[in-house]
Amino acid sequence: MIPAPVRYARAADVHDALVLLAEPDARPLAGGQSLLPVMKLRIVRPSLVVDISRLDLRGVHIHNGELHLGALTTWDDLLRVEELRRPALSAITECAAAIGDLQVRNRGTVGGSIVHADPASDIPAVLLALRAAVKLRSPNGDRVIPLANFLVGPFTTALGAQELVTGIVLPIPEQGSGSAYVSLEHPASGFAVAGAAVLVGPSEERVIALTGLTGTAFVLPEGVDPARALESTEIFGDRFASTAYRRRLAVVLVERALERAARRAEEDR
């Protein structure tokens, strides 16, 4: 459990990080909750680790009706900020509170989790339901792309070479909205066997996103019965949970998340 030899550099600012990341096998290190384990197993062996953990990319703020989450915002940060204490954003804190243990929540970051793109990760479903987009920066400049386009496949994203995720942005849902996240965790890893995130609006319009079922988290098509939509979804199975089980479980979790989100929306009116 000792990583292969690797060089280390601490980036002074985002520009510095991007310069360091010009090295082809360099990898940015934020909270270390995903990269370090795979480095210890020598599955990933970067030539250079660029420590971005002290960059000024941490924090939550609301601006022009949008919620901005800095890429280095930790799970524990999410549980402490006033900005998220509203029914419409409850799914975020509900998700963050159930991640790992206190040590993991103190280190793990939202940006790191999105970039890692584990197909069973919780937060992508939550952010998809909240119509989030990813803020990126590279030497070519800044771009913002919808999260759904950023997540390409298992452990695969649209992140370019020498590009960093700097944050997440999402529209604050209008008054009278509620969100919820419900999952069944694998008893060992704590990752989602299936997870359902839901945003219910004031006129009962809803966005449903799921994780743990396919290569990436995804949004169910609007206006279609969730059970029917899941019938035609190609869901993977493993030795712990079969495809049939996951499909049925997803329907149950969606129902529960809808019920909870609707109740929260009710509270917000």
Partner 1 sequence: MNETLIGVARPRLDAPDKVTGATRFAADGHVHGLLHARPILSTEPHARIRRVDREAALSVPGVVAVLVATDLPLATSGSDRTAEPLAREEVVFSGQPVALVVAETEAAAEDGAEAVEVEYEALPAVVGLEAAMAPGAPLARLLEEAEGGGDLESIHAGVDEGEQEADEEQLSGNVVDTVNRRSGDVAAAFEASDAVVSGTFRTPWVYQAYIEPQVATAWLESSGTLVVSTSTQGSFVTRRELARAFDLPLERIRIVAEPLGGAFGGKFALIEPLVAGAALALRRPVRLVLTRRDDFQSTNPQSAQVTHLRVGARTDGTFTAIEARMLVDRGSNTGWGVEGITTQLVAGPYRWKAHDLRGYGVQTNRFTFGAYRAPGAPTAAFALETLLDELAGALGLDPIEMRLRNAVVEGDVGVSGNPFPTIGAVEVLERLRGHPLWHERGSLPPGEGVGMAAGYWPGGNEPAAAVCRVDADGTMTVVTSAADMSGVNTGFAVIAAAAFGLEPDKVRVVTADTATGPYAGASGGSKITYTVGKAVEGAARAARVKVLAAASQELEIAPDDLEVVDGVVRAIGAPDRSISVEEIAQKALRFGGRYEPIEGHAGSAQTAGAPSVAAHLAHVRVDRETGEVELLRHVIAQDVGRALNPALVEGQMRGGTTQGMGWALFEQLEHDESGHLLTSSFLDYAIPVADRVPEIDTLIVEVPAPDGPFGAKGIGEAPVVAAAPAIVNAVAAATGARMRELPLTPPRVWAALTGDAPRENP
In sequence order, the 6+-apart residues with CB closer than 8 A to the CB of 125 are 181, 192, 195, 196, 197, 209, 210, 211, 217
Instruction: Report the nearest approach of partner 1 to the CB of residue 190 (Å).
Output: 9
Burial (CB count <10 Å: 0-12, 13-18, 19+), residue 173: buried
When binding is defined by CB under 8 A, the residue of 148, 184, 198, 213 that contacts partner 1 is: 184
Residue tagged 């999952």 (tokens):
183
Q: With respect to partner 1, which residue has the nearer C-beta, 58 or 246?
A: 246
Contact predicate 106/178, CB 8 Å: no
Interaction residues for partner 1, span 4-23 (CB under 8 A) = 4-5
Residue with Cβ nearer partner 1 (45 or 131): 45
Shortest spacing between CB 59 and partner 1, in angstroms: 29
Q: What are phi and psi of 176, to 5 degrees?
A: 90, 15
Compute the least distance from the CB of residue 148 to partner 1, in Å.
27
Tell me if 133 sits within 8 A of 148, measured CB to CB: no
If one asks whether residue 43 binds partner 1 (CB under 8 A), the answer comes out as no
Q: In this chain, which stretch among 66-74, 135-143, 187-195, 257-265 interacts with partner 1, using CB under 8 A?
A: 187-195
Interacting residues with partner 1 (CB under 8 A): 1-2, 4-5, 41-42, 184, 186-189, 193, 239-242, 244-245, 248-249, 252-253
